[in-house]
């Protein structure tokens, strides 16, 4: 991904795979993890999803980053509903629990 000399810019679609490989230690994320991440907004709803983001699904646990402790508490109160919504959207019972971690990030 690092540029040297006269290399041409790389397309974003080819970089995404490289970034995911680096983030997961070379193993591509399983399809169910990608499905859970892409359906987070639908499962959590607009308001909660605007202040959180799903990161990965591992061993039945959906890992979600949240902007603040206040939003973490709000999401924890909605945990059962979100799990139910997520499993309905995924078409099978893949999410057994959600782990919330407070981590601020910059949009964009």
* Residue-wise pLDDT tens digits, 63-74: 999 999 999 999
In a domain, 82, yes or no: yes
Give the pTM.
0.72
> Sorting pLDDT into bands at 50, 70 and 90, what band is 11?
confident
| Whole-number Cα distances in Å, 4 to 13, 16, 19, 55 | 20, 19, 18, 31
Across the chain, mean pLDDT equals 85
Beta pairing partners, 56:
63
Q: What pLDDT was estimated at residue 30?
A: 76
> Mean pLDDT, to the nearest integer, of 17-24?
66
Residue whose entry in the numeric block shows the structure tokens 């709803």: 45
Q: What pLDDT was estimated at residue 27?
A: 65
- Please give the tally of structural domains in the chain: 1
d(CA 20, CA 15): 9
In a domain, 84, yes or no: yes
Domain CATH number, residue 54:
3.30.300.180
Q: Is the pLDDT of residue 4 over 70?
A: no
Beta pairing partners, 100:
64
């Amino acid at each position: 991904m690092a540029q040297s000399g006269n290399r041409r810019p790389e397309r974003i679609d080819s970089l995404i795979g490289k970034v995911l490989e680096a983030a997961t230690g070379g193993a591509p994320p399983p399809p169910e993890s990608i499905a859970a991440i892409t359906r987070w907004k639908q499962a959590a709803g607009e308001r909660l999803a605007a202040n959180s983001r799903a990161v990965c699904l591992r061993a039945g646990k959906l890992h979600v980053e949240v902007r603040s402790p206040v939003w973490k508490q709000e999401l924890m109160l909605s945990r059962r509903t979100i799990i139910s919504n997520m499993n309905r959207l995924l078409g099978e019972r893949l999410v057994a629990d959600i782990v919330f971690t407070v981590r601020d990030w910059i949009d964009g």
